[in-house]
Structure 1
Amino acid sequence: MRKLGVFTLFIALMMALAACSSTSEKTGGGSSNIMDVSIKDASYILAGKDDGVSEDKETKKGLLAVQLKIKNKSDSEISISSYDDIRMYDGEKQLSPETDVYFSDLDIDYYQNGDIGADKVKDFTVIVNVEKDKKYELGIKPFVKGSEDEAKEIKIELDTKKYAASFDKLNDPGKALTAYIETIYMDKENADYEKYVTADKAALQEEAKKAFKEAIQDGFIDVTVSDEEIDKQYINYKTALAEKAKINAVTVGNAEGKAAVLVEYSTVPLVDLYDYVNEYDEEYYQNTGDYEGGQEYALSKLDTIISSIEAKESREKLEILMVEKDGKWTVDLSDDYGKEQLIDTFAAGEEY
């Protein structure tokens, strides 16, 4: 009886180990005689306006970039391709990874295939279109170079709920850019600035004021606008922007700490300033018969002029590149064109 008990215990233990072995392939990691596979990390990404993110409140879908850690245990080089060697399973449905995802604006390239040398470890990113908070399986079956034997497919569990936080943060760059514009160019209170933005506010505002000064001076040909007047009128202009301008910033690209944001906006166009100056110049002449003092008179009305200029909607959207630093976002200042667009639009009052 005692021997039977030991034998029964041994069989139970072997069954338990077998059960653990069979389920290990579906808990985020798996192993075969060819390779070990595990999920190192994953995060939702935005690749553009048509990347599959749904606005449906109940069913949210998106692109998930899954970073696999793959160790080649064999003595031969293996090859893995998202086109042929990786599958995704949703119950009985077999799905394919996304293989046509491009990030031209963000300068990111996810390679869709790669080789792993014998006894080497390599990270491999696969992009899949998934439903938020749902479980799937990933199947990986490598091609073993120099072998006629077909490798076994390893299946591992992909629980998208683990990465839900990254889905909820996809539009953080858009929120950050809105706060960036309102805080720096309008002196407007926006709680999202401290939450989402990192920037040298003082330096950016000084640069913006220089652009404003040039725009104001362009409206006055015959008189020089003093720095004191510029300081006063820049406050006036930012107040006008805060009251009249509108911003709708939407993140269209977001991956690996880089983002592209499209901005629909209206601004107070200082390009209209010259017309107002001419009107006051003409009014002065009609009242005095003097050709010389009209622009001085117009300058004395600059408060009224700036407050009177109506906001105009943009003809085109701004596309602004952003980068993540220490968990917050800022405008990519290495992108001179995007930086100049913001200054020209919200400090110099130009239209695009």
Structure 2
Amino acid sequence: MFNSTPTLSRSVLVIIFIFLVVSGLYFARQFLIPIAISALLTMLLIPLSNYFERKGINRILASFICLLFIVSLFGGIIYLISWQAADISDNLNEIGLRIQKIILEIQKFLAHTIGISHESQKIWFDKQTSNGSNEAIFLASSILSYLMGILMKSILVIVYLFLFLTSRSHLKKFILMLVPKTEVQETERMISDAGKVSQHYLLGLGIMIIMLWFMYGFAFSIIGVESAIFFAILCGLLEIVPFIGNITGTSLTILMVISQGGSNTMVLGVFVTYMIIQFLQTYILEPLIVGSEVNINPLFTILVLVFMEIIWGIPGMIMAIPMLGIIKIICDHVTPLKPYAFLIGKTKTKNSSSLSKRIWIKLKSIRAK
């Protein structure tokens, strides 16, 4: 007869450990999110920093140049979005009148079809308006507080990013000191593989977003969507949130087309554009560009997205896939954890080398020359 007491005790300890880890991730999210974002960006910028250092530039200066590069990149994207959004703000009055017209048509539909009288609708609308006016100051202060929070976290990310780049050798030596001497070589390989996964995934995602900008921009311009470039940029950027981002971007585009007085044909055109581009993205762009760099089972991709959204919100959803890819790399190199790597991974196919990986290999060959 089997003695189940040790197994039960071990299971209880594992459950307690998981509970403590999840609780720590949730309650320390304000502290951990900027660190996690800066760590992923550091992995992306390490090859660029190494390139400058091989040219004889001091590490601190090389890290500062990398920092300027990433800040200029995000600043340029923000400027491009605000520049395109200015075109929409010029037409806000016209859009507001169209929205009022749509509301009147909905009220007529409710009155004639469902039987809700105009008086009942007006009473409900006035009640909601009065409640909204009482909460307007609170809403404005909440938005201001949220924006200030984003600004402070952005500054923290920049500071952490610079410090990680300048002290990455020190941190690597610390990790190697924690493992036995017999495992140092395997640990170095694990650190290298984890960095490559993040680099390839983030580079591939960036390339795919740029291609989506061109495809959405071209399609929306043909359809006749007002501010087509703005919505193309929006739909492309929202791809950083897997599964949900593309649906959100297309839904916002359709709503804006309706509010701008677009025809049913235009709305249908936006929807068809979304379906065609999603087909191209899923079966052509992602296998070609991103490939299998983050080799995660689709089931666990969904699970980790839901989990990270619960504990870290939207930033968690953005970082979920590369972080899970890093966890899989760690499990691949630690023998007791290999079954978990197999569980969350998927079978690799032949010739699955992605465009982003080939770009990194080409850059390395150029630097070697």
Q: Please tell me the TM-score bracket, short chain as reference.
A: under 0.3
Higher RCO by CA contacts (8 Å cutoff, separation 6 or greater): 2
Bigger share in strand: 1
- Compare CA radii of gyration and give the structure with the larger one: 1
TM-score, length basis structure 1:
0.22
- TM-score if structure 2 supplies the norm length? 0.21
Specify which structure has the higher proportion of helix.
2
